[in-house]
């Protein structure tokens, strides 16, 4: 537990640097369906959003996934083993948790 997301992100980065292997970087989709709304939701704003249960715009991964992407299935305590890190898809197997 930490008072701010920045503290958690710093801890995550430090922990990630200690794991062996190459870091795979994934970015979120940062567009709006209606192009007329693009003025109201600039890309920089979309990339800065940090919501509970949603990974950051720049997600860096090695072997294990520490963010919860699908809250009903992937809740606290769920552990995933990443099988393949592809350019736009992360294939993982649920090891421990509600949907194991």
Domain spans of the chain, in order of start: 5-96
pLDDT band at 75 (very low <50, low <70, confident <90, very high): low
pTM: 0.48
Q: Residue 1 has what pLDDT?
A: 65
Q: What per-residue string of b and e applies to 28-50 under the rule 16 or more CB within 10 Å gives b?
A: eeeeeeeeeeeeeeeeeeeeeee
Average pLDDT over residues 18-30: 79
Q: What is the pLDDT of residue 65?
A: 45
Is the pLDDT higher at 57 or at 99? 57
CA 92 distance to own-chain centroid: 13
Q: Residue 85: is its pLDDT beyond 50? A: yes
Structure confidence at residue 76 (pLDDT): 64
């Amino acid at each position: 537990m930490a008072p701010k997301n920045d503290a958690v992100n710093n801890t995550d980065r430090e922990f990630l640097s200690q794991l062996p292997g190459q870091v795979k970087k994934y970015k979120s989709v940062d567009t709006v369906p209606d192009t007329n709304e693009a003025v109201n939701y600039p890309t920089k704003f979309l990339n800065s959003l940090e919501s509970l249960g949603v990974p950051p715009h720049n997600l860096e991964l090695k072997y294990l996934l520490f963010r919860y992407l699908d809250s009903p299935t992937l809740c606290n305590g769920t552990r995933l083993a990443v099988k393949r890190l592809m350019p736009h898809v992360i294939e993982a197997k649920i090891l421990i948790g509600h949907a194991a």
